[in-house]
Amino acid sequence: MNIVIIGAGRVGLVTGSCFAEMGNNVTVIDIDENKIQRLRENIVSFYEPDLERLVRKNHKVGRLHFEIDLANCLKRVKAIFIAVGTPSNNDGTANLCQVLEASRNIGRNIKHDILVVIKSTVPVGTSQKIKSIIQEELDKRRVGISIEIVSNPEFLKEGTAIKDFMNPDRVIVGVENEKVQKLIDELYKPYRIIYTDIPSAEMIKYVANAMLATRISFMNDIANLCSLIGVDINMVRIGIGFDSRIGTKFLYSGCGYGGSCFPKDIKALIQIGYTNGYAMQLLQAVEAVNNNQKTILFDKLLRIFENNLKGKIVALWGLSFKPNTDDICESPALTLIDALLKAGAIIQVYDPVALEETRRHFGNKLYYYTNMYDAAKNADVLLLLTEWKEFYSPSWELLKKTMGHSILLDGRNIYDKKKMHLNGFTYIHI
């Protein structure tokens, strides 16, 4: 099938590459000329495991193309996917500028009946707005072209996006009528497709992310209480995780969630509630707990160093908001680094893939290292912020020799407290 994807970001490029891998002829469109040129050279501008290999492979065999102008790519196209960003406005609402501009572009350029699929995370009612905008542009052109709108939210996790697309738990598709289902079935065969109405599909994405964020904030709140009353949160996690009604996922306490999805989607749902006269009290609490959680490690540092961090060498392991991505958007590391800089600390950082993103954000305010032990050299304290696999089993002997003082704050609770003490470390966890 001939497909166009509007947006060459984390969602659009993964979607396009995976559809091409499934045998479709895919063109990915983006207004960023530099990004498109780099993609033509098989260079991906962000880190996602296995993505660059898929881009290179499918570009080479002619199933994956990259263009700037939508008008040049519409011949025999059956479906156009909108996969552009919807960042937060200052008030927390979803910014739909890119989505609406993509819609206008579609209406100005399509030359035959077509299916428009919304991949972007958008508030309820946006799909209808998109259809109206496209129709307005068609009316201006006085052409009798028919469009069908489908809501098909993505559930891709950064770091496992290829796997998530190729082996989904389910594919959610919101439709206006049954006649488009045949085309969707052809696209997503043999995956499990759940058909809904369009507003429900738009809402499902928000609710899924809100549920997961709620579990994280709940466990972080419980972890903070456990810390005060001498209870091991890891034992609590294991104990409740074996309850089949609860399960084990998203039960790990830590220094807070971040990324390009959870924070903005929580904000958007809260604002949708306000707009409709309903206070989303639980989600407000989820957001408040997470904002507080990002300050927990800094508060612990202040207690350790008696409110004086000036000149202290602080080493950070992990900068991305989660492993297997270079995305530092809303990462707990950013909040901590800002606080450390204000306190006058000397900050030495290491991350397997997020150093350049962090350098773009902080410039020369930090010391950047490409080796985890070098980052810890002469450090007064080491903080683990992202649970990359290479951090799970370091050489404790080498680390102890490298650091100035053997103090380790574990922001992801990946180490065993007894073993850390046996290795001679002062160990503090969430």
Q: What is the CATH number of the domain that holds 422?
A: 3.40.50.720
Rounded to the nearest 10 degrees, what angle do helices 262-275 and 281-293 cross at?
Answer: 150
- Indicate if 43 and 154 belong to the same structural domain: yes
pTM (2 d.p.) = 0.93
Boundary (domain end) residue, out of 152, 170, 196? 196
Residues 6+ apart with CB under 8 A from 304: 381, 407, 428
pLDDT of 92: 94
Does residue 360 belong to any structural domain of this protein? yes
CA neighbor of 85 nearest in space, from 24, 6, 140:
6
- Indicate if 406 and 271 belong to the same structural domain: yes
Is 322 annotated in a binding site? The answer is yes
- Indicate if 270 and 392 belong to the same structural domain: yes
Boundary (domain end) residue, out of 196, 220, 243? 196
Is 163 annotated in a binding site? The answer is no
Number of domains making up the chain: 2
The C-alpha R_g of the chain, in whole angstroms, comes to: 24
pLDDT of 179: 86
- Indicate if 192 and 267 belong to the same structural domain: no
CA neighbor of 65 nearest in space, from 98, 106, 24:
24
- Indicate if 46 and 131 belong to the same structural domain: yes
Distance in angstroms between the alpha carbons of the first and the last residue of the chain: 50
> pLDDT (tens digit, 0 to 9) for every residue of the chain, 430 residues total?
999 999 999 999 999 999 999 999 999 999 999 999 999 999 999 999 999 999 999 999 999 999 999 998 998 999 999 999 999 999 999 999 999 999 999 999 999 999 999 999 999 999 999 999 999 999 999 999 999 999 999 999 999 999 999 999 999 999 998 889 999 999 998 899 999 999 999 999 999 999 999 999 999 999 999 999 999 999 999 999 999 999 999 999 999 999 999 999 999 999 999 999 999 999 999 999 999 999 999 999 999 999 999 999 999 999 999 999 999 999 999 999 999 999 999 999 999 999 999 999 999 999 999 999 999 999 999 999 999 999 999 999 999 999 999 999 999 999 999 999 999 999 999 9
- Indicate if 425 and 350 belong to the same structural domain: yes
pLDDT of 285: 99
Does residue 116 belong to any structural domain of this protein? yes
Spatial distance between the Cα atoms of 46 and 52, rounded to a whole number of angstroms: 9
Does residue 16 belong to any structural domain of this protein? yes
Does residue 218 belong to any structural domain of this protein? no
Is 426 annotated in a binding site? The answer is no
Active-site pick, 18, 73, 255, 261: 261
Which residue(s) pair with 148 in the sheet?
115
- Indicate if 171 and 317 belong to the same structural domain: no
Is 121 annotated in a binding site? The answer is yes
pLDDT of 244: 97
- Indicate if 186 and 269 belong to the same structural domain: no
Retrieve residue 186's tokens: 């052809």
- Cis before 332? omega within 30: no
Q: What is the DSSP letter of 83?
A: -
Given a contact cutoff of 8 angstroms between Cβ atoms, the answer to whether 319 and 333 are in contact is yes
Does residue 249 belong to any structural domain of this protein? no
Is 232 annotated in a binding site? The answer is no
- Indicate if 144 and 53 belong to the same structural domain: yes
Does residue 410 belong to any structural domain of this protein? yes
Which residue(s) pair with 196 in the sheet?
174
pLDDT of 403: 98
Is 119 annotated in a binding site? The answer is no
- Indicate if 174 and 277 belong to the same structural domain: no
pLDDT of 270: 98
- Indicate if 154 and 301 belong to the same structural domain: no
Does residue 231 belong to any structural domain of this protein? no
Active site residue 226: no
What is the domain extent for residue 400? 261-429
- Indicate if 144 and 268 belong to the same structural domain: no
How would you classify residue 23: left for phi > 0, otherwise alpha for psi between -120 and 50, otherwise beta?
A: left
Boundary (domain end) residue, out of 149, 176, 196? 196
Retrieve residue 292's tokens: 């507080």
Does residue 201 belong to any structural domain of this protein? no
Is 398 annotated in a binding site? The answer is no
